[in-house]
Amino acid sequence: ASKTSRRPLLCRAQAAATTPKVNINWDNLGFGLQDVAQTMYVAEWSPEKGWDKGALKPYGPLHMMPSAQVLNYGQSVFEGMKAQRSAKGNIVLFRPDRNAARCAAGAERLSMPPLPTEQFVQAVADTVRANADYIPPIGKGSLYLRPLLLGSGPILGLGPAPSYTFTVFGAAVGAYFKGGQLTPIDLIVEEHFHRAAPGGMGGTKAAGNYSPVLVTQLAAKKNNYADVVYLDAKTDTYLEEVSSCNIFVRSGKTIKTPPLSGTILPGVTRASIIELARSRGYEVLEEPVAVTDAMEADEVFTTGTAVVVCSVGSLTYRGNKRAFTAEGQAGSTALELYTALTQLQTEQAEDPFGWVYKC
Ligand code: COI
């Protein structure tokens, strides 16, 4: 943060220029806040006025009382999105209406006022344009956007917040996992903890779904696993998802991914990969995937905004490790779908689905 705080705040006209002016090493982007964008968007909701029109302001603290609902009872949903430079010289987002809809669905589940789709998309696009200098050159990474809806008003007894804040901030990022984008990751199947239970909020992008996974994720990382795969809470039999992404399993030309049963995050990348794979001749089934079947599959990969498409090098379950890829080499379908998706996203390939949104 100290590094970035010295950077001048860019006005909108300057930010529209296509050559990034900030002093960022584009060849060394990780997934963190080293290169946090200096302009954020903030809107406020009150019962009298509903959502105000919001405004861009310098990246900085949000003001909340210790009694803020979100700090005590966790009323919070977030989104992950990416802005990229495209081969046609545009600055593009990917299916922002989908994030808006998911944010609104999560807001309903957590008794928060949803933001209108148009305002959500406009807020993200405005934040992107104001921070254009933080969008890496094509192929080097993206400006990761984090829209956040919070019960920011004070309350003591358990109940919904009296007021809400919506904010969007961002940072220039590269690959999510530390080995780099196309390096396969090793995953371990969690045997004790669950990510979500039926009837809970696993199908929303609630902040509260992400802190319970830390204990298992940190333990896994100590043993050199990149992340953890969760099983269903009822039977401990079927794959659910990874802490940070959805999971797919391929055998021959058939790809399976767990269905959206309410405990699985409805990933935008997940939905897109299903359509993209079908359009490329794969049979894609949204049905329960037994962990024992996954251990026998030809290939496993994960998807998410942050991870994009990531090849799984190995799965470890009850002490047995099954390797899927040759050392360091991404699985063939993961590589095919990663390439197809990222080329479409950056206007290097046709977009027959109309998914690319120009800012
Ligand atoms: C994303 O993929 O955008 C997410 O929000 C996942 C998060 C763990 C980085």
Rg (CA), the chain: 20
Tell which atom from ligand 1 comes closest to the C-alpha of 78.
5
Q: Quick one: average pLDDT of 271-279?
A: 98
- For residue 110, what are the contacts with CB-CB under 8 A and spacing of at least 6? 75, 76, 77, 151, 201, 204, 206
Tell which atom from ligand 1 comes closest to the C-alpha of 244.
8
The pLDDT tens digits of the residues spanning 128-157 come to 999 999 999 999 999 999 999 999 999 999
Q: Taking CB atoms and a 6 Å cutoff, what residues make up the pocket around ligand 1? A: 80, 244, 304-306
Pocket test for ligand 1, best of 245, 247, 272, 345 (most atoms within 8 A of CB): 245
Q: Is the confidence at residue 13, as pLDDT, over 60?
A: no
Tell me the C-alpha to C-alpha distance, in Å, between residue 10 and each of 15, 32, 125, 159. 6, 21, 16, 40
- For residue 178, what are the contacts with CB-CB under 8 A and spacing of at least 6? 30, 226
Q: Is the confidence at residue 18, as pLDDT, over 70?
A: no
Q: Tokens in use for 201? A: 């909020």
Count CA within 13 A, CB hemisphere, residue 67: 10
Among 287, 179, 269, which residue's Cα sits nearest to residue 224? 179
Top pLDDT among 266 and 328 is at 266
Please state which of the ranges 6-10, 65-69, 285-289 shows the lowest mean pLDDT. Answer: 6-10
Tell me, yes or no, if 49 is annotated catalytic. Answer: no
* Closest CA to ligand 1's atom 8: 244
Q: Is the confidence at residue 211, as pLDDT, over 70?
A: yes
Q: What's 199-234 look like in SS3? A: CCCCCCCEHHHCCCCHHHHHHHHHCCCCEEEEECCC
Q: Cα separation of 194 and 232, whole Å?
A: 7
Q: Quick one: average pLDDT of 70-85?
A: 98
Q: Is the confidence at residue 4, as pLDDT, over 70?
A: no
Tell me, in angstroms, the distance from the centre of ligand 1 to residue 320's CA. 28
* Averaged pLDDT of the chain: 94
- For 306, left (φ over 0), alpha (ψ -120 to 50), or beta? alpha
Tell me, in angstroms, the distance from the centre of ligand 1 to residue 13's CA. 30
**Burial environment of residue 6 by CB neighbours within 10 A (0 to 12, 13 to 18, 19 or more):** exposed
Confidence of residue 16 (pLDDT cuts 50, 70, 90): very low
Tell me the C-alpha to C-alpha distance, in Å, between residue 224 and each of 178, 316, 354. 11, 12, 39
First to last CA, the chain: 27
Q: Cα separation of 257 and 276, whole Å?
A: 14
Tell which atom from ligand 1 comes closest to the C-alpha of 267.
2
Percent of the chain with pLDDT over 70: 94
Confidence of residue 2 (pLDDT cuts 50, 70, 90): very low
Q: Is the confidence at residue 14, as pLDDT, over 50?
A: no
* Closest CA to ligand 1's atom 6: 244
Q: Is the confidence at residue 63, as pLDDT, over 90?
A: yes
- For residue 70, what are the contacts with CB-CB under 8 A and spacing of at least 6? 64, 76, 150, 151, 152, 161, 207
Tell me, in angstroms, the distance from the centre of ligand 1 to residue 190's CA. 19
Cβ-contact 267, 258 below 8 angstroms: no
DSSP 48: T
Confidence of residue 20 (pLDDT cuts 50, 70, 90): low
* Closest CA to ligand 1's atom 9: 306
Tell me, in angstroms, the distance from the centre of ligand 1 to residue 293's CA. 27
- For residue 155, what are the contacts with CB-CB under 8 A and spacing of at least 6? 67, 69, 72, 73, 161, 162
Q: Is the confidence at residue 11, as pLDDT, over 60?
A: no
Tell me, in angstroms, the distance from the centre of ligand 1 to residue 157's CA. 31
Q: Cα separation of 328 and 179, whole Å?
A: 9
pTM of the model: 0.93
Percent of the chain with pLDDT over 90: 91
Tell which atom from ligand 1 comes closest to the C-alpha of 210.
8
Tell which atom from ligand 1 comes closest to the C-alpha of 305.
2
pLDDT attached to residue 6: 34
Confidence of residue 19 (pLDDT cuts 50, 70, 90): low
Q: Cα separation of 69 and 294, whole Å?
A: 41
Neighbours of 271 (CB within 10 A): 16
DSSP 3-state of 167: strand
Tell me, in angstroms, the distance from the centre of ligand 1 to residue 294's CA. 23
Q: Cα separation of 131 and 172, whole Å?
A: 10
pLDDT attached to residue 327: 85
* Closest CA to ligand 1's atom 3: 80
pLDDT attached to residue 21: 72
Among 144, 135, 143, 127, which residue's Cα sits nearest to residue 41? 127
How wide is the angle at C-alpha 14 spanned by C-alphas 13 and 19, nearest 5°? 130
- Catalytic residue chosen out of the listed positions 57, 205, 222, 234: 205
